[in-house]
Structure 1
């Protein structure tokens, strides 16, 4: 790894918007190691991008965000691989389970586990590898807003109820709603982290990103056949129409992937901290996401859950 001065990690970087982000970063920064991670890389995206660009700066490393033990193994491998310091950490991976509630190996609701909890532990464990001015970008979604049209309607009863749903909460929430709750968690956690970075006078920055509706991505891989047909076949052809009749923030995976790369390394936005981007614009996030009590409650619960002992929980709380 001595040929590279810095590295960048992109989770969920083997398909859809993620792979487009990796390709854009690799092309812009041939002297930077771009590590793409996911549970699998069936199309060998890292090799494909290297061939397309005639470069060697993209690598794949397997990461299962649904398991805290697997996240720890990932970071142990990272630490022993002599990789250069991380100048950006792109926490992009996300999943939606449309049917009955599923649980992670750690016993919590699996959408929340993958989209928020695994990413939080990954950040804390990789903190010693971040440069002093590292950029953290967290992919959220406009569906985190209860007032957004579309029927997701996330509620935030308590973190414990979200992680370990009671029977009544389980029956009253759909897979779409659980996904929206996890995206709300992404925004809440971003603000809590940004506040701590500022209070400590650190040069690191964190922002959260709504890539908009992106028909054709793998988000609907667990949906039923009719929805998959609409998502993969019909809607990608209707993007110009969707922009006019639904919302301007509808994009192809390539468009949103290039924006995600811009947020990670773009000079124009590198000083922004604790803000919510819709595409390339800073906009206001939902009312619930701006509730400092919810932000702090999520932060404290998360540190308590992912830390394996008091010493580690203390270090995570201090961002060490």
Structure 2
């Protein structure tokens, strides 16, 4: 069937998790293949819920691989065929560009929602991407930023008659970005984007868990910078339309304009059992995958009330992507279902602008592309 729009979620397949009774939850068998009894990760549940609510949209889940056949599993669960997998490696910018070319060649329907959801954490020594970027920053931010810029031309558009709703961009962040929340991770520290991308002697030995927290701060700062630019762009369009209306009574030309694009950040909360600990040691993986999921009610009391099973957080993420009750909401940071204040540092426009300038400057291959990226085209 022809689909009216596309909804893309990154990270929607990675390691669908394991049941608490599967072989992987016996400490001596941490490398064992999980049984068919799987509990699915947040991103899987988000894709499942979106596909369920939008059977007339193409739902695209993208990560490095789909070894657990997430797209097929979603289709089988729903009795539908509107979910597909498209491979994406955010740690290699040449592959992100190849992904965008592939997207264009397939002539997918216009993008209605873009969920920049994939995330990694490297607890050990400094790790770099193939592009020589610190890997946490490179994957959690830079790869996603390039994906956004390259896919922007394929966003859903509207005519002057307003015959289409807006486009939603959701950036998955984390409460670990906020030192005031005392998450147990080292405090996020933003000096400059260049320092995060190419650490100098002053920061090269910073712990990996701090790099993760800082990457989540970066996600929120970029959300606010992007939202500010879309607001300015849309205000300029409205002013232009008003000016035309005063000089020409027939402004109904059907000319294509950017749809109303909204950008929000999302904190899924602490979710034991998801793939975040895949780079950790064997004991940490065992505790994360097999012990802590049993103790979610206790964790809500002793660690944080913002602790959830993946299905809960997946439903909250899906709501931001397609929920009617949040249509038009923009520039906010959501903890699950409710908007809250993000950290003090995240609101510093000087840091947001440093991040924006560095990101566009680093990613753009030439002045023409830089102009398109800056113009959100």
TM category, shorter: over 0.9
Aligned to 2:119: 94
1:157 aligns with 2:191: yes
Structure 1: distance between partners of 2:185 and 2:80: 44
1:136 aligns with 2:136: no
Q: Report the Cα offset of residue 148 of structure 1.
A: 2.3
Q: Which runs of at least 4 in structure 1 moved beyond 3 Å after TM superposition?
A: none
1:206 aligns with 2:231: no
Aligned to 2:70: 45
Structure 2: distance between partners of 1:314 and 1:304: 10
1:68 aligns with 2:93: yes
Q: Report the Cα offset of residue 154 of structure 1.
A: 1.1
Unaligned 5+ segments in structure 2 are: 17-40, 158-165, 235-258
Q: Report the Cα offset of residue 147 of structure 1.
A: 2.3
1:221 aligns with 2:220: no
Aligned to 1:4: 3
Structure 1: distance between partners of 2:202 and 2:354: 22
* Paired positions, count: 318
Cα deviation per residue 1:7-53 (whole Å; 9 max; x = unaligned)? Answer: 10000011421111110011111111000000011111111111111
Structure 2: distance between partners of 1:287 and 1:251: 25
Structure 1: distance between partners of 2:77 and 2:215: 35
TM-score normalised by L of structure 1: 0.98
Of residues 216, 223, 226 in structure 2, which corresponds to 1:183? Answer: 216
1:235 aligns with 2:273: no
CA contact (8 A) 2:270 2:308 kept: yes
Of residues 178, 181, 188 in structure 2, which corresponds to 1:148? Answer: 181
Larger Rg: 2
Cα deviation per residue 1:232-259 (whole Å; 9 max; x = unaligned)? Answer: 1111000011112221110011110111
Cα deviation per residue 1:157-192 (whole Å; 9 max; x = unaligned)? Answer: 111111000123112x11100011111110000000
Q: Report the Cα offset of residue 226 of structure 1.
A: 1.4
RMSD after superposition: 0.9
Cα deviation per residue 1:122-155 (whole Å; 9 max; x = unaligned)? Answer: 0001001111410000000001112221132111
Of residues 14, 19, 24 in structure 1, which corresponds to 2:49? Answer: 24
